[in-house]
Structure 1
Amino acid sequence: MPFKPTRRHLLTAAGGFGLSLALPRLSGFAQTWPATDATFVFSCDVHACLVSADSLSPNCAAEGKTDAALLRHVAAVNAVDGLEWPAEIDGKPSGLAGAGTRIAAPRGLVLGGDMTDDGGGQVKVPGEGRQLQQFSSRYQQGTGPDRVHYPVYNGLGNHDLDQDGASPHRDWYRRELRDYVELNHRSTVFYKAPVPVTNYDIDSDNYSWDWGGLHLVQLQRFGGDDTKGAISGLPWLKDDLATYAGDGRPVVLFQHYGWDRFSTEHWDPAAGTFDPQGAGAAHWWSDAERAGLLAALKGYNVVGIFHGHEHPTPMIYNHEGYDIFKPVAAFLGGLALVRVTDAFLDIALARAGENPADIVFTHAFSKRFSR
């Protein structure tokens, strides 16, 4: 469903006109955290789709969810290192604070859910799903042209978690994907994770980490998710923010669902479908769930929220004072290039070009922080 901006939803013009806002820091805080200058890539909706060595789930080929598409996306993600932040997009000034400067090597690739198309690609009995194998062969850090070259911070969405397995293995799909996230990010006394994080919640699989003075939080499908047997991570989130971001340092959050029209649609009994006009049950997450998450964020210096879920439309918008960003789906070539410093936040939305490693910048956003 196409995204239609309202007064609270501002998508920058196709020419990439950058917003430039001077925002005060939270009152009552003097900066005591480490210096911040972190560049990273965000993407979402990979939808790895293989179900055998050479076949895809139904409709995947028609939708473009092919391995060739993922290779094209991986090439674009790897190519950002060494490029320049765009000074112009489609002939118009980008407004980026770092326009014309070299893009630093990204600290990592953060994913906003739907790593796989069908719960990892499981069939009738427990076993490693083909889709999860395909995903890890492309989006687990490695060398060469077919793997992401940076640490990958995994995030789960509805396509990863909503599948029910065949009895008696109803929850196997979910457990496999959650295990993959935990094994990649949760270290113990006896085990060193490939991409270790600072704070991992075993109950919800939410986790957080820091790059200098920037605090980053992965909330999986959405902060407070308790569907399909999930345990809400909101108590963990409140404790995490109080512990690691109570001094006013900048925070960015990642999850799958957003505040766009598609993510917030409800059942419309007259139309017999889910749509933004419906007054029935929520399709993805409810008004109360969104309110609960925003209440947990109140009082913290959240400088950006990143999500996925809706595939074709790049989004830059604001909801209740929070700046929110969504690139085009990964299988369509989408990514967001992000830099957070003590002085500014720069974001450039982009898509993979027609040739390997080509990148086309489409939209830009920038805001300055007052000192």
Structure 2
Amino acid sequence: MNDRTFLPLSRRALLTNILSFGVVSSVRPVFAATAAKSPWPPIDATFLFTADVHTCLVSGGTLSPNCEQEGKTDANLLRHVAAVNRIAEFDWPAEIGGVATGLAGAGQKIATPLGIVIGGDMTDDGGGQVKVPGEGHQLLQFSSRYQQGVGPDRVHFPVYNGLGNHDLDQDGMPPHIDWYRRELRDYVELNHRQTVFYKPPVAVANYDIESDNYSWDWGGLHLVQLQRFGGDTTKGAIGGLEWLGQDLAASAADGRPVVLFQHYGWDAFSLEKWDSAKSTFDDEGSGHAHWWSDDDRAALLAVLKGYNVVGLFHGHEHDTPMIYKQGDLDLFKPIATYKGGFALARITADYMDVVLAQAQGDAGDVTFLKAFSKRLG
């Protein structure tokens, strides 16, 4: 373990920390005006996206089986935290590997991010619980690194949490079948859902209690967290497509740009189906879907039709930085968090710049891997 070790906290202590960070650490977004006139507020939002954190502690300093070999260590997460915390010290790259990036903001200083969005698999094993319901060490490890705070051990920006299959798929020991899922969903809700009496550390404008999907705005930019995927009904989840349709109708019918975040994408791994000839799931199979189905994807795209969705960020596949398209939808998938990966985006009323990056070493150095830019409006 790194000498900056994770210290387990009780739930009461965790909630106390959540509440205190909500009061003293929130960042008030500042949006630059743009020359172009539009029916929505000005937009100049810089943010980070990362997925597949896979915290792996199951007790004090013990990792789940195979986590050490796979690199799912606290030391690697600390390297990732160091890199994202230093991101505003760098410039938007003009070149990557000797090739011009074409970024609209190439050469400009990167602004302090308004937040870091998590694209699922915050934990490796449903929060890290064991046979009897209790505080999950993996969830506590996640919160000790990816909840806004000060110092070198945790991120310095507001965190927008999202769940993936590793967070939600595992069943607990009977009779506590849903304990793992409930704890992870509770964590998301406690961090984001505001009420008359409770102010979370990162309050959002619209939170759906049923699906745990939520949305918020940075100026005229509308952002939506869809958890595992929009419309998910796996393992008792309540699909949120009706909520999503209502949210977009209320907040984005004027044509403002919309950004979506979820765990699954349109990459080959996310699209795996059962291959009966090989008795496994792969990208050559024609049987039932491993993660989400053709119908699932069609249903989500149907809800999005007619809105100005400028990008969808996702995770799930760990090794390959991807910038690609599905029809008219631009998709972005960084390398897994525990491997140092993240995406950096800047969206204004005029353009969208995205760079995929990777942490290098213990000092917070960053390597830029891929770049994307398009005009908006």
With normalisation by structure 1, the TM-score equals: 0.91
In structure 2, runs of 5+ residues without a counterpart are 1-36
Quote the residue 2:318 is aligned against: 311
Please say if residues 268 and 280 of structure 1, whose CA atoms lie closer than 8 Å, have aligned partners that are also in contact.
Answer: yes
Quote the residue 1:114 is aligned against: 121
One-letter identity of the residue aligned with 2:182: R
Quote the residue 2:219 is aligned against: 212
Quote the residue 1:263 is aligned against: 270
Match of 1:232 among 239, 250, 254: 239
Quote the residue 1:90 is aligned against: 97
Quote the residue 1:72 is aligned against: 79
Structure 1 position 196 matched with structure 2 position 178: no
SS in 1 for 2:113: coil
Please say if residues 57 and 137 of structure 2, whose CA atoms lie closer than 8 Å, have aligned partners that are also in contact.
Answer: yes
The 1-side partners of 2:88 and 2:345 are apart by 12
The 2-side partners of 1:272 and 1:163 are apart by 22
The 2-side partners of 1:31 and 1:108 are apart by 24
Structure 1 position 300 matched with structure 2 position 310: no
Deviations 1:246-279 (A, max 9, x none): 1000000000000000000100000110011111
Quote the residue 2:142 is aligned against: 135
Match of 2:47 among 40, 43, 46: 40
What is the Cα deviation at residue 354 of structure 1? 2.2
Query: After TM superposition, what 4+ stretches of structure 1 lie above 2 angstroms from structure 2?
Result: none
The 1-side partners of 2:62 and 2:102 are apart by 44
SS in 2 for 1:81: helix
Quote the residue 2:29 is aligned against: none
* Identical counterparts, % of pairs: 71
Match of 1:276 among 260, 283, 294: 283
What is the Cα deviation at residue 74 of structure 1? 0.5
Structure 1 position 326 matched with structure 2 position 333: yes
Quote the residue 1:18 is aligned against: none
Quote the residue 2:169 is aligned against: 162
What is the Cα deviation at residue 282 of structure 1? 0.2
What is the Cα deviation at residue 31 of structure 1? 2.5
Please say if residues 82 and 362 of structure 2, whose CA atoms lie closer than 8 Å, have aligned partners that are also in contact.
Answer: no
Quote the residue 1:342 is aligned against: 349
Match of 1:53 among 53, 60, 72: 60
Deviations 1:128-156 (A, max 9, x none): 10000100000000000000000000000
The 1-side partners of 2:62 and 2:350 are apart by 48
Q: Please list, as runs of the form range in 1=range in 2, the aligned pairs for 1:236-255 lying within 5 A after superposition.
A: 236-255=243-262
Root-mean-square deviation (CA), in Å?
Answer: 0.7
The 2-side partners of 1:271 and 1:124 are apart by 34
The 1-side partners of 2:153 and 2:363 are apart by 11
Match of 2:178 among 159, 165, 171: 171
The 2-side partners of 1:125 and 1:241 are apart by 41
SS in 2 for 1:51: strand
Quote the residue 1:153 is aligned against: 160
How many aligned positions are there?
Answer: 341
In structure 1, runs of 5+ residues without a counterpart are 1-29
The 1-side partners of 2:101 and 2:91 are apart by 12
Quote the residue 1:187 is aligned against: 194
SS in 2 for 1:190: coil
What is the Cα deviation at residue 82 of structure 1? 2.9
Please say if residues 31 and 248 of structure 1, whose CA atoms lie closer than 8 Å, have aligned partners that are also in contact.
Answer: no
The 1-side partners of 2:38 and 2:267 are apart by 33
Quote the residue 2:110 is aligned against: 103
The 2-side partners of 1:269 and 1:222 are apart by 26
What is the Cα deviation at residue 91 of structure 1? 1.1
One-letter identity of the residue aligned with 2:300: L
Deviations 1:100-124 (A, max 9, x none): 0011100000010000000000001
